[in-house]
Amino acid sequence: MKVGIIGLPEVGKTTLFNALTHGESPVTAFGGGRAEANIGTISVPDPRFDHLVREYRPKRVSPAHVEVVDGAAPIGVEHPSSRKATADLFGIDFFTGIRSVDALIHVVRAFESALPQGEINPLRDVRKVNDELALADLSLAEGRLDRIEKSLHGKKVIAGSQPTMERDLMLRIRAHLEEGRSLKDLQLNADEIKTIKSFDFLTLKPMIIVANVGEGHTPDSDSTLLGGLRSHCADEGLELIELAAEVEMEIAQLPEEEEQEYFEAMGITEPAANRVTRSVYRALGVITFFTVGEIEVHARTIESGTHAVDAAGSVHSDMARGFIRAEILRYDDFAKAGSWQAAKEAGLVKLEGKEYVMRDGDLMLVRFKV
């Protein structure tokens, strides 16, 4: 899985990136002219995986990972000392670096700063970037329409053909985006979604909002500042995470054995990475299953609703091709029984066929023959 961090200048995007990935990427005022994306990974925190590793003591461990891209191109913002306008100038390539991600993390400023950035207004900033996402998608749709029209020029147009169906779909998409609306609000059938999947429309991607608050933030103290944003997220079904990215970054750069002590001292119940990865999993509708043994304990991420044969295929294509049965053990049953063998003797290990729908926390052993 891959997530992209977006937001206006100086809202703490790279600060959050460092907090999530334990990175040390330069956090520079006014964009710093950085042209390349920061890319890092989060090992998904999962106490179930940690317990399985302790029990099996395998030669290899493979936790689930989320790749994080702090990769939107810099916005052209002039330094405050300049006499030029300081409006945010979104370039045509601003979102190019994050089109391939699965979900977006939109960081908005909710903290005081010595930098002259103007009034703090998280809801306004969310709407501003949403407008730019829609405009970026509109540009993409118009470009695709131009190519379709050129391919049809001088040819007999056959109603119901693939090019004409795609043209009609793009016309609908363009009209919807011209109203400044997200493609999530456009009714699309399964075939239409399949048609446009490769275009990576940004307004179709799940989004998580991160309000970057100041040190000492409490839900009550910032109720006036964040009230509008909270209501907006509730109305739109968006997850909202409120965290102090700078504090989280500073703690993430400490030795691991000191982190928990500092989190407790700052009144932070859990690291940003834990909260963000849970939100990403929910936004993307994915779950975790485990393959276990003395060789390797592996946490594997699949879409909710995945059948056993397809889960087996995510381990190795031969397992799907030669699938016979899957032995399935719920993690909770494993934890109570104390071992796979004890769970099997207690009748807790079930034999399932191809159509079995995987559940979060399943332990899976595939029987297959090729």
Report, as an integer, the average pLDDT of 139-167: 83
The pTM of the full predicted model, rounded to 2 decimals, is 0.85
pLDDT given at position 160: 67
Per DSSP bridges, beta strands 65-70 and 323-330 are unpaired
DSSP calls for 214-270: PTT--TTTTHHHHHHHHHHHHHHT-EEEEE-HHHHHHHHTS-HHHHHHHHHHTT-SS
Dihedral (CA of 185, 191, 194, 200) sign? negative
> What's the average model confidence in pLDDT over 270-289?
93
Rounded Cα–Cα distance for residues 176 and 163 (Å): 20
What pLDDT is recorded for position 352? Answer: 97
Q: What is the pLDDT of residue 104?
A: 95
Q: Label residue 36 exposed, middle or buried (CB < 10 Å: 0-12, 13-18, 19+).
A: exposed
The CATH classification number of 305-368 equals 3.10.20.30
Q: Is a pLDDT exceeding 50 seen at residue 60?
A: yes
What's the whole-number average pLDDT of the chain?
86
Q: Which residue has the higher pLDDT, 370 or 314?
A: 314
Cα 243 from Cα 80, distance rounded (Å): 27
SS3 track for 318-360: HHHHCEEEEEEEEHHHHHHHCCHHHHHHCCCCEEECCCCECCC
pLDDT value at residue 79: 40
Cα-based torsion angle of the residue sequence 57, 59, 65, 68 in order, rounded to the nearest 10 degrees: 120
pLDDT for 267: 77
The rounded percent of the chain whose pLDDT value lies above 70 is 86
Assess contact for 4 and 71: CB atoms under 8 A: yes
Q: How many CB atoms lie within 10 A of CB 204?
A: 17
Q: How far is CA 42 from the centre of its chain?
A: 11
**β-strands 65-70, 350-352: how paired?**
unpaired
pLDDT > 50? residue 177: yes
Q: Is the pLDDT of residue 276 over 90?
A: yes
CATH number of 2-44+60-118+205-284: 3.40.50.300
* Mean predicted confidence (pLDDT) in 180-199: 90
pLDDT single digits (tens) 129-149:
999 899 999 999 999 999 988
Contact (CB, 8 A) for 120 and 109 = yes
What is the DSSP pairing of strand 350-352 with strand 323-330?
antiparallel
Joined tokens for residue 182: 């997200």
129-203: in CATH 3.40.50.2300: no
What does DSSP say about strands 286-291 and 296-303: parallel, antiparallel, or unpaired?
antiparallel
Element (H, E) at 286: strand 286-291
Q: What is the DSSP string of 297-309?
A: EEEEEEETT-BHH
Does the pLDDT at position 361 exceed 50?
A: yes
Residue among 203, 217, 8 nearest 121 (CA) = 8
Kindly tell me the sign of the dihedral angle through the C-alpha atoms of 26, 28, 31, 34.
negative
**Residue 35, amino acid:** A
* pLDDT at residue 165, as a whole number: 87
Strand order in the sheet with 286-291: 60-62, 296-303, 286-291, 362-368, 323-330, 350-352
219 pLDDT higher than 60: no
Q: Which of the 8 DSSP states describes residue 310? A: H
Average pLDDT, integer, range 275-293? 95
For residue 317, pLDDT beyond 90: yes
**Contact 215/186 with Cβ under 8 angstroms?**
no
Burial of 211 (0-12, 13-18, 19+ CB in 10 A): buried
Mean pLDDT of 290-294: 96
- Give residue limits of the domains in the chain: 2-44+60-118+205-284, 129-203, 305-368
Stretch 246-275: mean pLDDT, rounded? 85
88-123 pLDDT per residue, tens: 445 555 666 788 899 999 999 988 765 545 688 899
